[in-house]
Structure 1
Amino acid sequence: MVKYRTIDLCAGIGGIRRGFELTGKAENILSAEIDKYACMTYEHLYQENPMNDITTSEFKELVYNTQYDILLAGFPCQAFSAVGKKEGFRDITRGTIFFHIGEILEMTRPKAFLLENVEGLINHKKGDTFNIILDTLINKLDYHIVGIDKNDIDNSFIFDRKNILLNAKNFGLPQNRPRVYIVGFDKKKFGNKLDNIPFKFLPQQRNQPPIFSDLTAVLEMKAEPNYYLSQGYVDTLKKHKQSQIQKGNGFGYMIVNAPHIKNPISNAILATGGSGKERNLVYDPQEAVIGLEVKGKKTPINSECIRLMKPCEWGKLQGFIGYAFMKDGKEGFSFPTNISNSQQYKQFGNSVAIPVIEEIATKIVQTLDELG
């Protein structure tokens, strides 16, 4: 069976790549990531060092000389220049990662691509950022973007958010994680054949039993005492939340498996840690930790047994652990031994929900098969 060749840009720890590999019809042949710790995990998982910088001419030349079919990238949300009249996408997008992705698309013209970004991309800078991205991909680079239509009167873009925005909670994972997915096919190569692609292209859910039914299925049976918060810290969080409520702000810690919540799910996990962890606290009463002190701080563990989620639990929320690397009923995912907990949180938070990618990838490779 012929496999489609992918390149994995802004690769992180390879979540997008893995989603395509799970279709059985894709193989990755080139990767790029500049975070040294993410590169260590990537190499550990795939036996390939992705330490490449997509902004360099050397890497672009490498891509230019690589025969591949599908470009993959989870790129950061960055503002574009807003000065005067511009000649082309290079002027408008210069200085951003998207600029370099656009250059690579223009130079190499893959059959298809998948770009992933945060939900906020749609309204970033009052929608200007997303409009520039669409204008670049559709008008400047001549790609067909699924789920996007064009108003012939004013050349504006028409789309329904649900056709480009997918949430991990609908794909078998107990995590509320909406993300933007931009799928494109090469109009120069496929021409009028692309008219047969449905406007509602992206799958809205995973039509299989859930991977984890809810948050209780994700939590480990036994968490080490160091994941539990001190009583003083819990008191501080409660005071902070109350003050924010009084100011009319929504921020505050959250206990995501509180008893009144039916079928609990987590909030989106974040690469920055910090508030990302505090928005995903869990109750986990264990007799073994009651009365203990927080290690190194000589302060008691909180009486309600509130703790942080563990990195491995975050891994389950993204489908890395308990799904994407399972083989013959055995877990195949692991980190290199020298990757700290803080890096594990960051790497999972920076990554993607693999089952979502797998469903999109299945649609893309099926479509490429049909296009011929």
Structure 2
Amino acid sequence: MIIRFFDMFAGIGGFRSGLAAVGGFECIGHCEIDKYANQAYNAIYDVRGKLYFETIDPNELSDLDLICAGFPCQSFSVAGKRLGFADDTRGTLFFEIARIARAKRPAFLLLENVPGLLSHDGGRTLDTIFSALVELGYHLEWCVLNSAHFGVPQQRRRLYIVASLGAECAGRIFPLASGNAENLKELIPGPQGQRVYDPSGVACTQCAGSGGWGGKTGLYFIDMNPNPIITDHARCITARQDSGVSNHRGEHTAVLVEDDAPRAILTPDRETVRQQGRRVKEPDEPMFTITAQDRHGVVHHGRIRKLMPIECWRLQGFTDEQFYKAQVTGLKDGRLYKMAGNAVSVPVISAIGRKIKEINDEYHITERMKNNG
């Protein structure tokens, strides 16, 4: 039985892509207030004959079985001010989900947010969300999942909530079986743009035309001095001068040896920026969580290259074809980066979607909801 879903706060369609990969799901429409994200969405997907809203009128919605929503997380994230419902209108957008759920009574809800939601305001924010859903008759499951365990080399922990009007679903979704992400596999070395990678890993990409630190095609020597100088050669190593390798004097009378394997690096020109307490990862570790505000790159043999927009989209599980469909509409690199940072990871949604479909096929929950009116 086909599960008809509505894509709320759709962004660039991570939920839609994830469910389409499973099969047995049909998108009846979407809502998205950001005009650039909606521009990309309309380019990627066939929206002919589908509903579109900026402000949703339930009376205009056809019957549906599932609401998908990665409701805005900035007000709950540890990276933001954590204002929650009290002082940030983005936080109150959860109640839009509840409003539509009350009016349309879908059999399932699939929600995504940051793990910070679990602890926000001492747990009272999550209690408010769960209480609202329970009052509507939903049974709840939730789990924090890492995208790195679902085939994309990015550390991205997110909270996923599945709500169902059928009691049979409760306790059946989580935990999910997952596999480890494939590491980058270089088959043929060479200059950027000519290297050939195994398709099971992260492929090479065309470079953006942006300027700034690490924004162009070339790789740059890392200099941690306050006024860095880009050069192909290391500084003169002395005992009493900071050569940019560390902040401690007397530690530069040696050779800095780097691993052959590339490492992920976060916002290289801002030493104070950290994710998981680090700016640089160990070789072959997954990338840092892709965010809308940070800059991500790869450091290799003392040089750094900024991640290109298409690579950020790949790190969220989108295809190259989807990226190019969005890019060709005239979207600038900055917006393409932001869209990737705000997106939901496609393979994780596919894994959850498969479980929802299996349970619905077994217990006919959506069909029973329709028969009960």
TM-score (norm 1): 0.69
Q: Deviations over 1:223-251 (max 9, x none)?
A: 46715587698544998x969xxxxx773
% identical equivalent positions: 31
Distance of 1:336 and 1:170 partners within structure 2: 31
The equivalent of 2:216 in structure 1 is 226
Q: Residue 96 of structure 1 aligns to a residue in which SS? A: helix
Distance of 1:235 and 1:333 partners within structure 2: 41
Q: Deviations over 1:176-209 (max 9, x none)?
A: 00101110111xxx4xxx2x446262243435x8
Conserved 8 A contact 2:156-2:289: yes
Conserved 8 A contact 1:214-1:265: no
Unaligned runs of 5+ in 2: 76-82, 187-200, 209-214, 229-243, 249-271, 365-373
Deviation at 1:82, TM superposition (A): 6.3
The equivalent of 2:176 in structure 1 is 204
Q: Deviations over 1:80-119 (max 9, x none)?
A: 5569xxxxxxxxx997101111111111100111011111
Question: Do structure 1's residue 135 and structure 2's residue 101 form an aligned pair?
Answer: no
Conserved 8 A contact 1:39-1:51: no
Matches of residues 196-345 of structure 1 in structure 2 within 5 Å? 196-197=168-169, 199=171, 201-207=173-179, 210=181, 212-214=182-184, 217-218=201-202, 220=204, 223=207, 226=216, 235-236=225-226, 251=274, 254-256=279-281, 261-272=282-293, 276-277=294-295, 280-284=296-300, 304-321=302-319, 334-345=326-337
Residue type at the aligned position of 2:34: D
Residue type at the aligned position of 1:309: L
Judged with a 3 Å threshold, the aligned counterparts in structure 2 of structure 1 residues 362 and 28 are, in CA distance, closer, same or farther, namely same
The equivalent of 2:161 in structure 1 is 182
Question: Do structure 1's residue 369 and structure 2's residue 361 form an aligned pair?
Answer: yes
The equivalent of 1:301 in structure 2 is none
Q: Residue 110 of structure 2 aligns to a residue in which SS? A: strand
The equivalent of 1:87 in structure 2 is none
Greater fraction of residues in helix: 1
Deviation at 1:220, TM superposition (A): 1.8
Conserved 8 A contact 2:85-2:125: no
Deviation at 1:333, TM superposition (A): 5.8
Conserved 8 A contact 2:173-2:356: no
The equivalent of 2:118 in structure 1 is 122
Deviation at 1:334, TM superposition (A): 4.9
Residue type at the aligned position of 1:129: T
Distance of 1:19 and 1:27 partners within structure 2: 12
TM-score (norm 2): 0.69
Q: Which of 325, 344, 347 is equivalent to 1:352?
A: 344
Conserved 8 A contact 1:44-1:335: no
Q: Deviations over 1:333-363 (max 9, x none)?
A: 6533301100110111110110000000011
Conserved 8 A contact 1:254-1:281: no
Judged with a 3 Å threshold, the aligned counterparts in structure 2 of structure 1 residues 197 and 101 are, in CA distance, closer, same or farther, namely closer
Unaligned runs of 5+ in 1: 84-92, 148-163, 244-248, 286-303
Q: Deviations over 1:100-154 (max 9, x none)?
A: 111111111001110111111111122111111011111x21101125xxxxxxx
Conserved 8 A contact 2:153-2:183: yes
Distance of 1:121 and 1:145 partners within structure 2: 15
Conserved 8 A contact 1:121-1:130: yes
Q: Residue 266 of structure 1 aligns to a residue in which SS? A: coil
The equivalent of 1:145 in structure 2 is 140
Distance of 1:12 and 1:130 partners within structure 2: 23
The equivalent of 1:104 in structure 2 is 100
The equivalent of 1:70 in structure 2 is 66
Q: Deviations over 1:38-72 (max 9, x none)?
A: 11110101132875224x5xx33322xx1111111
Residue correspondences, number: 293
Distance of 1:237 and 1:106 partners within structure 2: 58
Alpha-carbon RMSD across the aligned residues, in angstroms, is 3.4
Judged with a 3 Å threshold, the aligned counterparts in structure 2 of structure 1 residues 234 and 219 are, in CA distance, closer, same or farther, namely farther
Aligned structure 1 segments of 4 or more residues deviating by more than 6 angstroms: 229-233
